[in-house]
Amino acid sequence: MKDRPQLQVGHLHALRPDSAPRWRVTAILHRGRTYDDVLLEHLEDPELLTRARIYHPGLDPTDLTLPALVRLLDQAYRADQGRSGLPLTDEDRRCLADYLACHDLVREAAWDAWAAELGTREQDEARYWLDLTLMDPAPEDAPLP
């Protein structure tokens, strides 16, 4: 994993990437491998405090719970199908595919949980996407350098 700048007390934070920072980090409660639990103070009302988990940029599938992994797969699948979903970056897609390729039991548990949420008609398309689009993209489908 790449070295990333550490979040520090005093840093400004926006709750959404598309908004202006409205919060200041007042305390680091816990430093995780891929996230920091922090205490935030609102810039306009310093008496307003909230606790938040701020994830480091990039994806680390080892930190995902099974429900979070299922949500991630569903969002990526729907985005690839042109429906409302959150697309994965190329780096995150490779990272997730590598992780699932190396952890068959995790992949099958995620599929079982995801298949239970999908409609019967959608299961075949989703399984095809998981096994052949996400996990095993053909070299001819790779973008040109």
Residue 124 has pLDDT above 60, yes or no: yes
CA pair distance 68, 64, nearest whole angstrom: 6
Task: Kindly report the pTM of this predicted structure.
Answer: 0.61
The predicted structure's pLDDT at residue 116: 93
**Closest-CA residue to 37 (of 60, 21, 55, 10):** 55
Mean pLDDT confidence for 37-66: 87
Residue 34 has pLDDT above 60, yes or no: yes
CA pair distance 40, 25, nearest whole angstrom: 5
Q: Can you point out the beta strands (E) in 49-100?
A: 49-55
Q: Where are the domains of the chain?
A: 12-55, 61-141
The predicted structure's pLDDT at residue 110: 96
* Pairing between β-strand 23-31 and β-strand 35-42 as defined by DSSP bridges: antiparallel
CA pair distance 103, 10, nearest whole angstrom: 39
